[in-house]
Structure 1
């Protein structure tokens, strides 16, 4: 397989975020995200991570702004940080007319975060730690800016999916600025615990996306629509499964067997 720089010119869409391009061919991504626990009608961004209008939510590594957009829609004050200035600008434009109490875009590599101590009460950092040179110091910055009692939603790629990617993805996928480390579930727990956070929950999800990215590399296309027929067919197959009587239960079993991501919800001590 030949490695094409254009294939890795942007970080792959997070497994929880309904990619507009994929959804345009098949909205299974939205359904899969909901069944995984994301974007719930209860107001939870993820199961057990509720967003309220009185919250001040920080998203570090906001990317295209899918998560912080949900929080803005809930009326929270939102601060979104990314190293990519264009992504910060585009997210700011999208949130301009949202119900958010306030919107603050920050261009930064978070080393350090240009924010004061004890500043926010909800912190999101998804699919970022695998990219950074020093995850210990990076996470220490996230802890510093959280208020006592702040709730953290953290995720990294799961070792099961990354092990498959090591066999099928171009070598560039595991070179800077892409994935420069793989976290076992024990490693991830230890990293978060050693940062001084109290772990409340660890889970995983994302079989659909594990398979999507395993298939992606043989399709010889970049990260934009129209998608290769193989990827479209995979979306239709998954949607058919989820529509069947036992579909959600089968999804749950497969999410445990080959998850794309592992998630920790943790709290800063009072």
Structure 2
């Protein structure tokens, strides 16, 4: 009955030929952090050929660079490799020590280390020609006092590279991240975009650019919290598939257009380049 209904007759049934067996290659491992670095390069970070730590923020051998909240020293390393005098500062003595060791074999003119909370900085007025302060202000009790110290130690005409987490993704993280992520000494405030600009101008700096980057990381961190893996070995199908998806996007013809639109919509961070008059 069913064969008659669908117009199928036994005498005319065709048996398909067996296909040759296809060997599926094993999945290629993907590194979330490698993809993140590629994304950062596309956003204008670590441009070695033009000596730009971030597009428009040129580092030269004549510079004295203060990297406040140096962390693992990635930004300091870039500056040191371009011959600058680099001052690394962090509240964590171990990070200062490890960063100084990391910079020991670079062509940096000089490497100094400061351990402390930058209140105050043990530097003379007008020391630095470049000040780098990445993802620090969200940890600080008194942002006005902190920024006033950064301005004090900058030379007249010094340039500042400042970044903080963007409020849209930070608000999303609040619903997923463990409570300690938003407790001292971690993130104790969410800084709105206009609030960030006001902090900088109230400190006496002139804003030259305010930009956004890192949608990839906004989503990655949301996934990271639910994967329950260690950050030092952050491999999980969800994280790996997200990294692969983002890499595939960047490989497409219109990928950059989409990447920029998403960066503006929900960036991981907002970055300001400012100048001391």
Give the TM-score normalised by structure 2: 0.87
CA distance in 1, matches of 2:144, 2:238: 39
Structure 2: gaps of 5 or more residues:
1-28
Q: 2:177 aligns with which of 163, 169, 175?
A: 169
Q: CA deviation at 1:35?
A: 0.8
Contact 2:227 2:236 in 1 (8 A): yes
Q: CA deviation at 1:29?
A: 1.8
| CA RMSD, 1 decimal | 1.3
Q: More relative contact order in 1 or in 2 (CA 8 Å, sep 6+)?
A: 1
Q: Secondary structure of the equivalent of 1:256?
A: helix
Q: Secondary structure of the equivalent of 1:168?
A: coil
Contact 1:76 1:100 in 2 (8 A): yes
Residue matched to 2:70? 62
CA distance in 2, matches of 1:23, 1:236: 7
CA distance in 2, matches of 1:139, 1:109: 12
Aligned in 2, Cα 1:155/1:226: closer, same or farther, shift over 3 Å? closer
Residue matched to 1:249? 257
Q: Is 1:228 aligned to residue 231 of structure 2?
A: no
Aligned in 2, Cα 1:25/1:158: closer, same or farther, shift over 3 Å? closer
Residue matched to 2:43? 36
Aligned length: 248
Contact 2:61 2:83 in 1 (8 A): yes
After superposition, residues 169-208 of structure 1 pair within 5 angstroms as: 169-208=177-216
Aligned in 2, Cα 1:117/1:89: closer, same or farther, shift over 3 Å? same
Q: 1:133 aligns with which of 141, 152, 161?
A: 141
Residue matched to 1:145? 153
Aligned in 2, Cα 1:23/1:111: closer, same or farther, shift over 3 Å? farther
Q: CA deviation at 1:27?
A: 2.1
CA distance in 2, matches of 1:50, 1:224: 31
Q: CA deviation at 1:226?
A: 4.6
Q: CA deviation at 1:82?
A: 0.5
Contact 2:30 2:240 in 1 (8 A): no
Contact 1:72 1:78 in 2 (8 A): yes
Contact 1:157 1:261 in 2 (8 A): yes
Higher-Rg structure is 2
Residue matched to 2:164? 156
Q: Secondary structure of the equivalent of 2:232?
A: coil
The one-character-per-residue Cα deviations of 1:85-115 (angstroms, maximum 9, x if unpaired) are 1111111111101011111111111111111
Q: CA deviation at 1:229?
A: 2.0
Q: 2:61 aligns with which of 53, 56, 69?
A: 53
Structure 1: gaps of 5 or more residues:
1-21
The one-character-per-residue Cα deviations of 1:35-55 (angstroms, maximum 9, x if unpaired) are 111001311100110111111
Q: CA deviation at 1:73?
A: 0.6
Give the TM-score normalised by structure 1: 0.89
Q: CA deviation at 1:224?
A: 1.0
CA distance in 2, matches of 1:132, 1:23: 35
Contact 1:23 1:29 in 2 (8 A): no
Residue matched to 1:218? 226
Contact 1:199 1:267 in 2 (8 A): yes
The one-character-per-residue Cα deviations of 1:64-96 (angstroms, maximum 9, x if unpaired) are 000010000111110010011111111111110
Q: Which runs of 4+ in 1 moved over 6 A?
A: none
Q: Secondary structure of the equivalent of 1:39?
A: strand
